[in-house]
């Protein structure tokens, strides 16, 4: 298992990400990393993408939308929380 301590800089890995439902940070081409995990049923990685719309043309309506990705460019383990 690969872990990341609080005293080390995050390192992007280019090996194949885990396919055992372990959550990890993934580079899927967005300007920010996303939390992803393997979906064995669809045989792809899934991640939550933040969306924002308008509600009654006044209020921001923020929500998460599930996305699917066949290829993860690079990845890193989730950081340990204190």
- Counted residue by residue, the chain has a size of 82
Half-sphere exposure of 36 (CA within 13 A, CB side): 30
Global pTM reads: 0.75
The CA distances from residue 82 to 5, 6, 11, 79, in Å, are 10, 8, 19, 9
Q: What does the domain layout of the chain look like in residue ranges?
A: 36-71
Mean pLDDT (whole number) for 39-58: 88
Burial class (CB in 10 A: 0-12, 13-18, 19+), 36: buried
Judged against a pLDDT cut of 80, whether residue 71 lies above it is answered with yes
> How confident is the model at residue 8, as a pLDDT?
59
pLDDT digits (tens, 9 = 90+) for 8-26: 567 899 999 999 989 999 9
> How does the average pLDDT of the chain come out, rounded?
85
């Amino acid at each position: 298992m690969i872990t990341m301590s609080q005293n080390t800089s995050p390192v992007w890995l280019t090996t194949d990400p885990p396919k055992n439902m372990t959550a990890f940070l993934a580079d899927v081409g967005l300007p920010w990393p996303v939390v992803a995990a393997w979906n064995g049923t669809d045989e792809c990685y899934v991640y939550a993408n933040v969306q924002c719309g308008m509600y009654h043309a006044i209020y921001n309506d923020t929500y998460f939308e599930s996305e699917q990705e066949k290829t993860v460019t690079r990845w890193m383990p989730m950081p340990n929380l204190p």
